[in-house]
Amino acid sequence: MNLLTELVAFVVAIGVLVVVHEYGHYSVARLCGVKVLRFSIGFGRPLLQWVSKKTGTEWTISALPLGGYVKMLDERESPDTIDAADLPHAFNRQPVSKRIAIVAAGPVANFILAIVLFGAVYASGVTEPAAIVATPPAQSAAAQAGFQGGETILSVSNASGSHTEPVRSWADLRWKLMSTAFEHGRVVLAARDGASTYDFPLDLSRLTSQDLDDDFMSKLGLEPGGGTLRIAGIEPGSAAQRAGLEKGDRLRAIDGRPVDSASSFIAYVKAHAGKPVQLSIERGGAVQSEVADSDADNNADDNAGATRGNPSNAAPSKPQTLTLSVTPAAQRDEETGSEVGRIGAALSAQAPSVEVRYGPIESARLGAYRTWDIAFYSLRMFGRMLTGEASLKNLSGPVTIADYAGKSARLGPSAFLSFLALVSISLGVLNLLPIPVLDGGHLLYYAVEAVTGKAVSDRWQLVLQRAGLACIVALSAIALFNDLARLIHF
């Protein structure tokens, strides 16, 4: 049943994304007066086909549903069979500006689809982390503003107090601070601590452009908190096992600092390689019937999650508070190459969340922001893989996509729509890469033509197309290898 769900979800996802991408090319080509000969969903032998009486376009559904194409009238392909009356409608006869618009329309359509899908998710309601602040690092902007951890942020105001906006979730807080951070201004955060509300002036002027490209919230010392952090698993022979940590232990403090955020705990452990730290833990109490099964550890690829099981019939024992000393083992970080601390324990985090529903305009704005954020991150990841700063293991192929399509479909409509939006963005970014045979390669040709006034020669286009095809085959092979490696765990 799971396999069937994955196949159906995968076919639906690919079908939607291909249709949207190719319809972007088709619609702009029609607007530019170019005659479209064929609109094909899939490759290979046609299974269904019909011809539009109005436009003369042949619409086709083919046997291999892993892509599609729009074939336009082009005298370079069949110069002897085109009627003289149709020559003005040939793609190659169009000015370079129209050709750029037609080629760019496919990726743009993918980005528009992502904005619409994310907007629909925001409008229908999403569950997001609550705007509760974790204990900030010393000397961070958040610490200097007076945050100690556990405060719930209620609103954001400008320095003069003339404009105030409510904060509904952590994502909402991030968006509002991002808008102000670009102006390098100051804000006042109103937050509730217990029964009282206080103002916390936050200085954003120290943020650099690089900080805004990265996780600027962490740079400010702001991390979501208020959650419960537990040990989900212990590696045999690890520092955690030697220190006496056990599965199910609740982490309360590290070196006297309250623990309510997985990321801040991991960062602290990383920074103390070979140095003993004191962990305050709570053991016993309510019986933990199930702890998240995760191989996440305190390294760069940590993932934290929590599941909730049925309570045990056994009477809970009184929780016991212990202090354990653990010395993180030094280990080389694959991402940075530096030495970091590791205790060999998987973490399970359960953070407070809120249900948030946005209006149509704000949903569209948030959808556009998230689309831009993911597209920019994807582009940077491609660049890091080219320079060797990121592993090629990050590439995924159709097997992984099908797996995630099935999983997101089982989680519900919102998860599946978010998955569709994510893949649509990836498809748009991939097609904009300046690789011949992709849309980005053709845009590169037309950019050269626009600057020099001369089209790239057919000979050079043929050479570059072969090189581009080799790149695509290589990327596909790596992605397929990664799929198989994840599937059979080698």
The 10s digit of each residue's pLDDT in 453-484 is 888 887 888 888 888 888 888 888 888 787 77
Residue 259 lies in a domain: yes
User: Among 220, 255, 279, which residue terminates a domain?
Assistant: 220
The reported pTM is 0.69
For residues 338-350, b (16+ Cβ closer than 10 Å) or e, as one string? Answer: eebbbbbbbbbbe
Instruction: Decide if 22 is catalytic.
Output: yes
Number of domains in the chain: 3
Confidence of residue 276 (pLDDT cuts 50, 70, 90): very high
User: Among 196, 220, 244, which residue terminates a domain?
Assistant: 220
13 vs 406: CA distance, rounded Å: 10
Interhelix angle 398-411/458-488, nearest 10 degrees = 60
Contact 54, 63 (CB under 8 A): no
Contact 203, 123 (CB under 8 A): no
pLDDT at 175 over 90: no
| Catalytically annotated residue among 22, 128, 151, 223 | 22
For residues 200 and 326, membership in a common domain is answered with: no
pLDDT at 433 over 60: yes
CA 368 to chain centre: 14
User: Among 156, 189, 220, which residue terminates a domain?
Assistant: 220
Sheet of strand 196-203: strand arrangement: 164-166, 152-158, 186-193, 196-203
Q: What is the pLDDT of residues 40-53, one digit of tens each?
A: 998 888 889 999 98
Residue 155 lies in a domain: yes
Residue 1 lies in a domain: no
For residues 485 and 366, membership in a common domain is answered with: yes
Contact 338, 332 (CB under 8 A): yes
Helices (H) and strands (E) in the chain, counts: 13, 16
pLDDT at 382 over 50: yes
Q: HSE-up of 50 (CA within 13 Å, CB side)?
A: 3
Neighbour count for residue 322 (Cβ, 10 Å) = 16
Neighbour count for residue 229 (Cβ, 10 Å) = 23
24 vs 29: CA distance, rounded Å: 8
For residues 285 and 394, membership in a common domain is answered with: no
Residue 77 lies in a domain: no
CA 336 to chain centre: 21
**Facing residues of 281 across strands?**
251, 322
pLDDT at 328 over 90: yes
Domain holding 198: CATH number?
A: 2.30.42.10
Residue 134 lies in a domain: no
353 vs 385: CA distance, rounded Å: 34
pLDDT at 349 over 90: no
Confidence of residue 302 (pLDDT cuts 50, 70, 90): very low
477 lies in which domain range?
110-125+360-490
Neighbour count for residue 47 (Cβ, 10 Å) = 12
Contact 291, 232 (CB under 8 A): yes
